[in-house]
Chains A and B, each alone.
Chain A
Amino acid sequence: MSMLASYLTLAAVLFCIGLYGVLTKRNAVVVLLSIELMLNAVNLNLIAFSRYGIAPSLKGQVFALFSMTVAAAEAAVGIAVLIALYRNRATVNVDEFDELRR
């Protein structure tokens, strides 16, 4: 059990670092990186449970693989959106993307 607890602690630390980055960083690229960090923390959780959980199985690792695939696609879309934004506004500063206000 102590193994599971240390994995989960690591995942929680990673998640919190990612969350902090998402909420505070102004550079959109760093925000995307932080999102990857949060996703990987989740992946770590999935794998930890698949190995040390109450009913260990391969399902967790399969989910982790799926999640990585989705994350890759998400990163591609995110970067594409960022490039489009940069071309339009010549900035990647998230503070300046406040169109929702209007």
Chain B
Amino acid sequence: MATVFSQYAWLVPAFPLAAFAVLTAMGRQQNRTGGWIATIASLASFVVALLILIERMSGNADDYNGSFDWLRVGGTQLTAGYEVTNLTSLMMAIVTFVSLLVNLYSIGYMKGDDRAAVFFAYVSLFVSSMLGLTLSDNLLIMYVCWELVGVCSFLLIGFWFQKPEARAAAKKAFIVTRIGDLGLLIAILLLFWYMPGHALDFSSLHNVFGTQSGLISTSLTTLIALLIFLGAAGKSGQFPLHVWLPDAMEGPTPISALIHAATMVAAGVFLVVRTFDIFAAAPAAMDTVAIVGAFTAIFAATIGLAQNDIKRVLAFSTVSQLGYMMLALGVGSTTAAMFHLFTHAFFKALLFLAAGSVIHAVHTQDIREMGGLGRRMKTTAWTFGIGALALSGIPPLSGFWSKDAILGAALDDRPWLFVVGAVAAFFTALYMARLFLLVFAGKPRGSAEAYAHAKESPAVMTVPLVVLAVLAVAAGFVMTPFQDWLGPWLSGGGEKEDANGVAIVVSIVVSLLGIGLGWLIYGGRGAVRPDVVSSRLPWLARLLERKYYVDELYDLLFVKSLGRLGQGLRFFDEVVVDGAVRLAGSAVSALGRANTRLQNGQVQTYGLVAIIAAVILVLAIAGRRFW
């Protein structure tokens, strides 16, 4: 099969980049049309990405690699290029699709914002760099795009920089992900150092780590894998670097959808999938990934139970779901991880956009002030419900299949991780039920005026919701235990996900249990009082509400101590360094001031000085005779 469209894969990131350039050049005059420019660019990208995906699905197309020499430093040659494989084509399709819908939705959401053009420019750059990251055929280019993604997330989270919280959140996101980025950078440097021929492209990595194992020692491989995982954990919000992701809610809601579904957090998972050969060669690193993933999954799910901000609940659910993906990678199933990434992209984008629609209608993010909105916003409620059910893992929605694939893989590999995952799935179902029931069901708890004004969002916002809802239902059928199409396609055949009856049954049961418990507590029947836990174990509720005090701990451990170090350095700078500089300066100017006293403009003084000097000179010359 000829690779017709794959050759043009470079167009996919090029369109949003062009949109970024145009929007940046045009400036704020484009506030009205900017959204359409960005949307059209992402539509073009989506079309190309879709054509590539179809081309790759329709036959055993070869991987296409277009690369060129970028730099030659001494004897070392660096190449830049793009690579189209089944994995990248799937990822590109997800990213372009979600970004298309987010752009479309943002036209409605950002209407009237006087920096709308800037917003769409940032979004375009964000999408472009994410696509570049997806397409790149070596780690170096990937790292460049990786950093671009980080910068864009910083810009977009801090988009409403008038709010101090948004500024703080943007800085936090940037700094926390920097910690991970540093790990990735060191990993790339180590690879550059130890790889034969300094090759950093993925096919060489595959050869070295996958087939000729032993070329690089196991301990070094483990170190590199762990450093890469540190980078992935930073971007994908894994414990202990998850703290930035919930705060990133300060950005505009479409950005939350974009970050959580397609661009930012998916980058970490994608990175691990791309460099999976390194992980596979390092069992200790695999264990770390699995344990961190499982821990993050349950850790974030429990926090999600006690949050009151609609977007924060969704943010912690993203952290939790990313934990699932990492868990899947840790137990060796890249297919399950990518599958969950695929389905999660749809239903999480759906949930965020629906949440944005709710926020747009009631102008609050606090779920305690919502309630009963289902009657006012039918489309939003229905689509949100579908997303919530998909996330909770109710068959036959997409989330069920992907979560089941992960749990099945975990059960095969390490049963105790399966237990952790199942418990986390229970909490997931519980907090989603709580969220849905508190927002859409029951009686309005906020002000009556806000409720009266709450109305369905415009079509430009609801159409993406409906499209995403359809996909959230249907996306799971590409890989069910009965008909596994995605797995062989993605991993190049061979790997077959076993249908695991235990996993399926347990997965369904815990989801239903979670939803059932949620219904009992928040369904309005009063079967179980909502404060059943907080009244008996107030410390537990408080612990969850404050997110296990991780932020406070970091504040105490790092922020305060680093701040103090900074103050010390600043003191040193101001007193010692500046003091020395000021001393030099003031010494010179004092000398100058002393000299200006001689330069008084009185000719008689000059004459006197000259004569005194002449006398001294004469005395000195004459005096020499007598020595």
Contacts and interface: CB of A to CB of B under 8 A. Distances in A.
Contacts of B604: 22-24, 94
A23 B608 contact: yes
Contact of B603 (A19, A24, A100, A102): A100
B607 A101 contact: no
Interface string B587-619: 000000000000111111001100100000000
Contacts of B599: 101
Nearest to B599: A101
Contacts of B611: 19, 23
B615 to A, nearest CB: 11
- Interface size class on chain A is 10 to 19
B190 to A, nearest CB: 67
A19 B608 CA distance: 9
A98 B600 contact: yes
Main SS of chain A's interface residues?
A: helix
Contacts of B600: 98, 101
A83 to B, nearest CB: 18
B598 to A, nearest CB: 11
Interface string A71-102: 00000000000000000000000110111111
Interface in B499-547: none
B524 to A, nearest CB: 91
Given A19-B611, A23-B608, A101 B603 contact: no
B387 to A, nearest CB: 81
Interface string B18-32: 000000000000000
Contacts of A97: 601, 603
Contacts of B603: 94, 97, 100
A22 B601 contact: no
Interface centre among B600, B604, B608, B611 (most CB of A within 10 A): B604
Nearest to A98: B601
20 contacts: A19-B611, A22-B604, A22-B607, A23-B604, A23-B607, A23-B608, A23-B611, A94-B602, A94-B603, A94-B604, A95-B602, A97-B603, A98-B601, A98-B602, A99-B601, A100-B601, A100-B603, A101-B599, A101-B600, A101-B601
Interface of A: 19, 22-24, 94-95, 97-102
Given A98-B600, A100-B601, A101-B600, 18 more contacts: A19-B611, A22-B604, A22-B607, A23-B604, A23-B607, A23-B608, A23-B611, A24-B604, A94-B602, A94-B603, A94-B604, A97-B601, A97-B603, A98-B602, A100-B603, A101-B599, A101-B601, A102-B601
List of 5 A-B pairs having minimum Cβ-Cβ separation, nearest first: A101-B601, A98-B601, A100-B601, A23-B608, A23-B604
